Every structure is written in C-alpha cells, then in structure tokens.
Structure 1
C-alpha cells in the first residue's frame, strides 16, 4: 500500500476531530520542518534531523508495534498490523540514512538535548503502551499521519547524502480515515484515540522545536 504524498488535511471533512487535529497540530505546520525543505538546507541540519527521528522511531519494537499489542477491535488490529509491517522498511531506511549522514553534528548544549530527546522517547513509549482503549491506536494513527511530513525531510536528506529513497508503504490516508470513523462511533474510544494522537503531535512538535534550537545554537556557536 503506497502512502499518498498529498497533504492529508484534504480528508479532514471525512473524519472530523482527528482531521482537524492533524491539520492544526501536525508537523507539516512547523517552521523548522519547512526550513529543511528549503532550496539548500544545511547538511548538518538534515543530519541532525535524521539522527533525532531515528532516536524516536528507529527502534524495534516501536510505537506502532507496542500499539498493536494493545488493540482490542478487529478494525484497529488489522490496520496496526499493516502499519507495523510497513514500518519495518521505514526503520531500515532510517538506518541507511543515519549511516550516510555520519556522526551527530556537534552542538552546544548537547547534554540538555540528550535529556529532551530521552524524555520524548519515554513519552511516546508510554502512550503506545497505554491500556486505555483507543489511546495507543490514536498515537499510532498520528504517527502515520505525521510521517508524510517527516518522510519528506528524510527524503530530502537522502538526496543530500546520496541515498536512494525507498517508497513509503504505510496505509493510505483513505484506509486510515475508515479506521478512525469506525472507532469514533464510541465516544469514550474516540476521546482516548484523540488524546493519544494529540500527545504524539505534541511530542513531534517538541522534536522540531529541539532541532530548531540546536540549529540556532550551531549557527551562533
């Protein structure tokens, strides 16, 4: 299943609150992510992004794998299984990019950055292993939604570092929408799903905030 590279916001009318949340809080709106899509972004900024995305999502088991172990309904189990299988290739892609990017760029305040990155990893792990019905699935759905914007940065880094980008194969947005619509029929499940998604979007915003601060520190260091 090939990932639709068009912005997912165009589907917001079909899935209500989740679509609105993706449109308002998703990574695509962050100025630093947009800067990395500029004509000639600094290679060290791209390398920094690759390393930090890999720290959050390059491990196994990851967010989607954990969420699959907490799914309760057949519709979410099927979606999570497909997403987890696709993310195996995304992790392999991240490994290749990290190797091509070289060492983590030297940056003032590195210890503070390490602590912030560790806190983000911990927060995502806790969300993905939540026993609150719908929370972990919402977190996984938010990752799949946000991965479109994140993948664009990774592909930009691949071009800069001479890595052939592989096609992403996460569930297409229309499939994700149908899962959200099915799970949203129960109010409590929808609330938990939206909470999980909101928290993942917040952690991703924190990631781009961190990368922006590190880029600024390097340019002024």
Structure 2
C-alpha cells in the first residue's frame, strides 16, 4: 500500500469525531446566535431576557430531560451522572422563570408556542433514537451548549435580583472525554455527530425565533 493510502487508525477517527461535536456546538449553537450573545450584555432588554427564559423552560424545563432520556439502562454511567447534574440546572431554570415574571406580550404568540412545542417533541424523539450514539450525541451537545445558555439565565437572574447556584455541569473536557468513550466505532462516531448537529439546529432555531419575537415587540 502506498504512503498516500495509509490507513488512518480508528483512534484518530474517534478523536476527529469527538472534536466535531464541540465544533458543531460552537459553530451552530447558542454562541453562534447574535441574539443570545446580546442578551448577556448590560444593554439587553428585560422583556427579551424574560422571553428567552420562558422559552428555554418550555423547551427544557419538563422532566424527564433529554439527558435523562438518552441515559438508557445500557448507556454509559457517565451520562447518568450528567443527567443528575442537568436536573439541578432544570431546577435553577424553574427558579429563574418564576423570578422574571410573565411572558412578555408578543404578536403571534400562539404560533411561537406551537413552534417550541414541536421542537420539544423533536428533541424527545432524538433522545430516544434507536440509532446507537445518536441520543448520546444530542445529550452531550446539550450539556456543551448549556454552558452558553447558562450565561443568558445568569443575566436574567441578575436582572431579577436573584442569585443562581454554582453550576454543576460537567466541564467541557469531561463532556468531550465521554463523547470519545462513546465513539466505539466509526458508525457510532457518525451518530454522535449527527445527534449533536440536530441539537444545535434546534437551539439555533429557538434563538432565531426569539430574535424575531424581540423585533416584533420593538415594532409595536
């Protein structure tokens, strides 16, 4: 076999796929959305912050969480531990949602609510996917992206004059190590990346919806 056709060790493939998960989240998730980034600034609208918190609670506040659903009995124990940490984040989300007050009045609210409900159903389906690795990829992507989401929640909590507890989320390094452990073969590596991408797409869609709602309120 020629040098140019030398086989690439699977460990290198697994590492590439592991990196793809965080690259997907960084490039397509919350940090890639100007509206989300803007909500963390001191100039952010209080109404926009409240709207985002309520939307996040609608999408991720219900039990069981996407991470819990993905942590099936035959899943890696690391994902089960991460599910417990995310449950603490959901509790914090509920507290912030109550503190920010009601959802701000916005044109076409019923359509927006229906869109988020559809996203929630899509994520629940993804979290229970029969394709090995897909649900895990989505769950790990959620945990990665939640570090950015938490910044928005922290900004909203500060605006409502409440403190949020320290994060119990696993570190980025821990999440990526779990992804590498799950990437036991090329097929599962691809499934992990696919699940991560689908989660990032749903979050990106949420922030686009929230940006449109903010524009609609500003136009009143």
TM-score by length of 1: 0.89
Question: SS of the counterpart of 1:33?
Answer: helix
- Is 1:87 paired with 2:90? no
TM-fit CA distance, 1:13: 7.7
Question: SS of the counterpart of 1:163?
Answer: coil
Once residues 23 and 36 of structure 1 are traced to their aligned partners in structure 2, the CA distance between those partners, rounded to angstroms, is 17
- Match of 1:47? 50
- Is 1:29 paired with 2:38? no
TM-fit CA distance, 1:119: 0.9
- Is 1:163 paired with 2:166? no
TM-fit CA distance, 1:215: 0.4
Once residues 68 and 87 of structure 1 are traced to their aligned partners in structure 2, the CA distance between those partners, rounded to angstroms, is 12
Once residues 62 and 17 of structure 1 are traced to their aligned partners in structure 2, the CA distance between those partners, rounded to angstroms, is 24
Deviations 1:50-80 (A, max 9, x none): 00001111111010110012x645xxx2221
Deviations 1:96-142 (A, max 9, x none): 11111111111001121011111111111110111110011000000
Q: Is the 8 A contact 1:79 1:171 kept in 2?
A: no
Question: SS of the counterpart of 2:64?
Answer: coil
- Match of 1:202? 201
Q: 1:72-221 to 2 correspondence within 5 Å?
A: 72-73=74-75, 77-221=76-220
Question: SS of the counterpart of 2:44?
Answer: coil
- Match of 2:61? 58
Unpaired runs of 5+ residues, structure 2, are 1-14
Unpaired runs of 5+ residues, structure 1, are 1-11
Q: 1:64 to 1:14 in 2, by over 3 A?
A: closer
Question: SS of the counterpart of 2:167?
Answer: coil
Task: Count residues with an aligned counterpart.
Answer: 206
CA RMSD of aligned residues (A): 1.6
Q: 1:1-16 to 2 correspondence within 5 Å?
A: 15-16=18-19
TM-fit CA distance, 1:185: 3.8
Once residues 192 and 74 of structure 2 are traced to their aligned partners in structure 1, the CA distance between those partners, rounded to angstroms, is 13
